[in-house]
Structure 1
Amino acid sequence: MKMIRKTALILLSLVLIALSFNPVQVQSKSDNAASFNDSVNVSFPGSITFNLDIDTERQIKDIRLHYIVERESFTDVTQEITVGFPMPIQPEMTVGWKWDMRTTGSLPSGTIIQYWWTVIDIENNLYRTETASVSFDDSGYNWKNITQNNITLYWYSGDDGFATDLMQTCQDTLLRLGEDTGAYLESPVRIYIYSSSYALREAIVFAKEWTGGVAYPSYGAIAIGISRSNMEWGRRALSHELAHLVTYQMTSNPYNSIPVWLNEGISMYAEGELEADYENYLKAAAVGGYLISVQSLCSPFSAYSDKSYLSYAESYSIVDFLIEKYGQQKIHQLLTVFKAGSTYDNALLEVYGYDLAGLNKQWQDYISAIYVS
């Protein structure tokens, strides 16, 4: 009997402890004792400020902001920010949190952020605002847009013919990639055309001085600076960045990334024929016997311009070699195997029958036959 009473007391104690640590799920934006109103201020590209107006007679002990950034991801990641508030507690007060993009890096225009607030009072009542969303838009321009297939192109400088020209470049790029690699856009993408590289850099936090275009693969977005005066460059750069989005969608997986030579090689291939400057670097390296190995090109390229040019040129050449010798079906199969999370060597072995070392030998023999023999 004593054991039963002791057990009952222990269970009662555990229940009381649980109640003291678990807030009551009020799940309400307002009730008779408290009301909450949220607002957001977007300052593109630098920050987003979230505010919450609180009107309550209750003593507050915890305020948190929760948000989710919409992007392609294999897990739903909810960020939780504990927000400070003035003491002593005022019946009416406003709290806020500023997301400074300098601490996390830029988000592309059009990114959607879902958010909600939770507030806990000293009686452990939990108040939760309704989930809201804000679009992180570059509102500094009067954007126009056109849509074709899976691409929406935004621009503000230039006439409709300017935008139509660039959209045609995008469609031609997709056609070339589809015919030669079997790759295609699985999901819609957004492209923002700024009037110049300078205007683009103003829309990016900590942009490098040479930045002319940037792809945000997991956000399905591109931002690039193109004017009528640099259309030739703009078409190639647009094709390059668009191919990055296509390759990402075709190979993204939670286990592994693809080798850099394949990622950059497909984008270089999407531009069209290799430009003369790049081919000169490639020819000189082949003749001089200092080609960079395929194994080395799996990693990020050198920051030194000469090695960087050669790395991009070689990447184009490797992809061109695989397409020319083995055809579209094989390279499409390679992308599919990478999407399953395969390692570099295993993917090549499964599709082509040799590993990175074997590819390096096959490709260098191919290049030597063109430039050395």
Structure 2
Amino acid sequence: MRQLIPKVFLFAVCLMFLCGVSCVWAGEWQVVERHQLTLKHQLSDSASANRYLNQLFLQREIVRKKLGHIPITPVTVYLASSQRVFDDLTQGRLPHWSAAVAMPALQTIVLRSEHVSQRVQTMQHEFSHVLLYAAVGKHVPVWFNEGLAMWASHEWRLQHTASVLYAVLSGGLIPLSEIDSVLRFPSVKADLAYTESLLAVLYIIRLGGENAVVAMMSELSHGAPFDVALFRVTEKTPHEFEQAWRDYVSGRFSLTALLVSPDSLWGYLVLLFGVAYVAVKLRNRTKLRRWEAEERMEELELKVYQPEDTP
């Protein structure tokens, strides 16, 4: 499987979005602009539009700093006031778990305004995609793109630790190259793929030092192919990097590592959460098998039962 996002897919997504904007809600968008940011919103969000725009500016600058003060690029943000508007804009082509989407080639982001609690992280995540594309001007592996966005937005929760722990113990780590297909994954597998992507970027920093991300961005923006940039920063080929990364993740998220960690109390909490996570998955599998067995028995009863003929 190729490790780069196909150009035809990117073109299709952009074309889909343009059709959505031109055909749906075309006359209802209000516009506010500042600092090379354009916010398009509906009347229901007018009262908070300027606050949103200020927040967008702040989060864009935070991400720019993390990526090495890369050049500013104009960005248009659509604020969808409901799930229905979001689905109309994206033509319903995104997974149900999507809360936002970036279309870097169009320098465009679509956000759902009702996700207030996750607003800052979501803005940073999507700005990372747009700014990376604008600075690099070429495709990069999906795991690096998504991992960089998660790193820039500080996306790490206890459930991520539990999901990686379960994947390590069950032998279910996803190869980095397979993360290309993340948009076709079910939500649980997609969550693991995003978490692994973040861990891969953190491993680049572990190998290349605290300025590794800035160094990668510099190499890529000056025309280096991704494999070359990765080697210059980590001194590993993509194959060597992935093997070392898998060993690193397997070691970091083993039961032994959690129990002897300096933060042992945290380790025990993670372990407890992980055990509960595994127990729920096993219980759900058992319940599913029971339901399937009951369905087979019902089908069998229907087949063997033949009513007696009435005289």
TM-score with structure 1 setting the length: 0.56
Alignment of 1:271 onto 2:153: yes
Which deviations, in whole Å up to 9, do the C-alpha atoms of 1:9-29 show, x marking residues without a partner? xxxxxxxxxxxxxxxxxxxxx
Shift of 1:272: 1.9
Aligned counterpart in structure 2 of residue 250 of structure 1, from 123, 131, 135: 135
The residue aligned with 1:345 is 227
Aligned with 1:300 (options 181, 184, 206): 181
CA-CA distance at 1:325 after TM superposition: 4.9
Larger Rg, first or second structure (1 or 2):
1
CA distance in 2, matches of 1:142, 1:281: 40
Question: Counting helix residues as a fraction of each chain, which structure ranks higher?
Answer: 2
Counterpart residue identity of residue 126, structure 2: E
2:91 to 200, 205, 210: 205
| TM-score, length of structure 2 as denominator length | 0.65
Name 1:214's counterpart in structure 2. Answer: 101
Unaligned runs of 5+ in 2: 1-11, 258-311
Matched to 1:246, the amino acid is L
Once the two structures are TM-superposed, the CA of residue 193 in structure 1 deviates from its matched residue by 0.6
Q: Tell me which residue corresponds to 1:233.
A: 118
Aligned letter for 1:177? V
Q: When the two structures are aligned, how many residues end up with a matched partner?
A: 241
Q: What letter matches 2:181 in structure 1? A: P
Matched position secondary structure for 1:231: coil
For residue 32 of structure 2, what is the amino acid of its counterpart?
N
Matched letter for residue 186 of structure 1? I
In the alignment, the residues of structure 2 paired with residue 195 and residue 221 of structure 1 have an alpha-carbon distance, to the nearest angstrom, of 17
Unaligned 5+ segments in structure 1 are 1-100, 112-135
Alignment identity in percent? 21
Give 1:288's match in structure 2, choosing from 154, 164, 170: 170
Report the counterpart of residue 143 of structure 1 in structure 2.
30
The residue aligned with 1:180 is 66
Shift of 1:141: 1.3
| 8 Å Cα contact 1:178-1:184 kept in structure 2 | yes
Partner of 2:191: 309
Q: Please say if 1:107 is aligned against 2:18.
A: yes
Query: Which residue number corresponds to residue 152 of structure 1?
Result: 38
Higher relative contact order (CA 8 A, sep 6+): 2
- Offset from partner CA, 1:130-187 (integer Å, 9 cap, x none): xxxxxx995331504142x332222232354x33443344344334433433153532
Q: Return closer, same or farther for 1:190/1:214 CA change in 2, 3 Å cut-off.
A: same
Residue pair 2:31, 2:40 contacting (<8 A) in 1 also: yes
- In structure 2, the residue matched to 1:223 is 110
Q: Is the 8 A contact 2:63 2:124 kept in 1?
A: no
Q: Distance between the aligned counterparts of 2:233 and 2:95, measured in 1?
A: 41
CA positional deviation for 1:224 = 2.1
Q: CA deviation at 1:262?
A: 0.6
Residue 190 of structure 1 deviates from its aligned partner by: 0.8
Superposition RMSD in Å: 3.2
**Structure 1 residue runs of 4+, over 6 Å off?**
108-111
